[in-house]
Structure formats: structure tokens, C-alpha cells
Amino acid sequence: MSDDAWQGMLFGATTVENEANQDGPVDELRVCALNVNSPNPSRAQRIVNWLLATKSNTLVLTEMQPSEGGRHILAGLQAEGFTTTCTPGWRDARYFATVAARGITAVSVKPAGFDPRVVAADLTNDTTTVRLVGLYGPTNGMTAESSSRRREFQGRFLQYLAEISTSALCVVGDLNVVEPDHRPHLPAFEDHDYAFYSRLLAAGLRDAYRELNPAGGDHSWINPRFGSQRLDHTLISAAAGDIHTCAYDHATRSEDLSDHAALLTTIKLRGATAAANGQPAM
């Protein structure tokens, strides 16, 4: 089916109000990050309906595939007023990541030439711009080849991030790594995996979940054989805004939409806060 045909599809009616039609400036990013687990068209439509019900204005979707299901999600979100951003080459990729935004201007950033698993967009309201980078890291296959592939990808991503870095920055998605003191301890992860997470924090990013939950033990991927893992992250710089909420929603797992929990984060934009107080935007 052609892209135009997908664009013209009619999707199930929802009761969710279209954020793009609301009056007034957007003063916060309501970010939903979800690994969609390569859905077929039927599950893809259920995922679209669930995403709309969260009333998020920013979506970061990982483990997308250029299949019927992946294209269905893109067309469904576009039909609901979302601007979707994918890295060039996504149609020929095995996996890709997508950033979707509604009610806030989204402009694609210089793409990561090495893999459509990485996507970046500038999100702009009346007072500020946040650069959001969506990331789907390679899965830990627990083999030497998998380790080498992850190490190379992580190095190239850090190089790309340094090239496009700006003060107001977010890195969001299924990074497929855990924090160094993750509980339970997961011996399948290697030093370079922990270093990747640590280097992102060293670059000035804050782990939104950990900042609000210093002793939190939630996980986003539950597996009795390989150990429950907190693989999905929202990392933000101080200049991007204030973290108001950040929590994992396991409805996506319990409703068989994905094998991952969604990560819902609310970020109060710094520029919007300053403008509301009569101050110039940063």
C-alpha cells in the first residue's frame, strides 16, 4: 500500500481532545516513551488508541518497523494531528525510532547517519526550544557479537550527541542499558553498557525517574529468566525544564500492547515558566 493510501485511512473514533486545537501556549512537555514491540496492524491500532488516551503531546516510539503495523502507527498519529519525525532511511531499516508531537512545533534535526534507531527533533513553543533525541539501543543478546555491536553503537551515539548537543536537551527511549547500581544486578550487562549510561549523565543529563524516585525499584521490562530490567529512560538537562512527574505505566504490558511498560514524564518548560513570571525566556 502506498504512503498516500496510508495517510488517507480512517481510524477508530476517539474521545481524546486534539491538543493542536487548544488555545494558549504549550508550557509543558507531556512525554510518553514506549517500545511498541514491532506490532501487527491490529495491535498497532490499539497502541494508537492507548497513546491518544494518555493525552501526551510528545511521543517517543521505539522498536518500530517499516511494516504494516509500523506504518499504521505513523498514519494513525498523523490523522490525529501529530507531526511524526523519522530519520531518513527508516523505510529500509530493520528497526527505527519515531518522535511525534502535537500542539507544539517539531522540526527535524541533523539526522544520525549511522542508524535510524536514532531520531532528533527540535520542539518549540512560544518561548523556548527543546532538542529531543529518541533512541532505541541495540538489544543485549548476551553474546560477544552483541556486545561488540552495542559498544560500537553506543560510541557512535555519544559522538552524534556531542555534535548536536544544546543546552535544552532530552534523550528519551529504550536505551537497552541499565544504571550501574541496578537492582537486581544483571551480569549480562558489561562495563561499556554501564559507562554509556554514566556518560550520558556526565554530559549534564538527569535521569527523570531516578531524580523523583531515589530509592525506586520499578522496571520497564519484566522477565523471570533474564531478570527484570529498567531499560526505558527519560534523561533531561536542567535547561530543558523542571521534572514534575515521571512514572512507568504497566497498562501496556497488562493489556498486551507491548512487552514494555510506557514511561510517562511531565516536563515544565523553563522558557514557558520564565515567561509566565514576566521574565525573558532563557
Q: Which residue has the higher pLDDT, 1 or 101?
A: 101
* Domain-located, residue 169: yes
* Domain-located, residue 148: yes
* Domain-located, residue 39: yes
For the chain, what is the domain count?
A: 1
Q: Which of 244, 234, 248 is nearest to 270 (CA)?
A: 244
* Domain-located, residue 159: yes
Q: Quick one: pLDDT at residue 168?
A: 97
* Domain-located, residue 5: no
What are the E-state strand segments in 181-250?
A: 205-207, 232-237, 241-249
- Name the maximum alpha-carbon separation found in the chain: 56
Residues 114-126 have pLDDT tens digits of 999 999 999 999 8
* Domain-located, residue 67: yes
Interatomic CA distance for residues 208 and 129, integer angstroms:
19
Q: Quick one: pLDDT at residue 224?
A: 67
The 3-state DSSP class for residue 131 equals: strand
* Domain-located, residue 4: no
* Domain-located, residue 227: yes
Interatomic CA distance for residues 89 and 96, integer angstroms:
9
Q: Are 246 and 263 in contact (CB under 8 A)?
A: yes
Q: What is the CATH number of the domain that holds 63?
A: 3.60.10.10
Structural domain that includes position 170: 26-276
Put simply, whether the predicted model's pTM sits higher than 0.95 gets the answer no
C-alpha cell at 31: 512525554
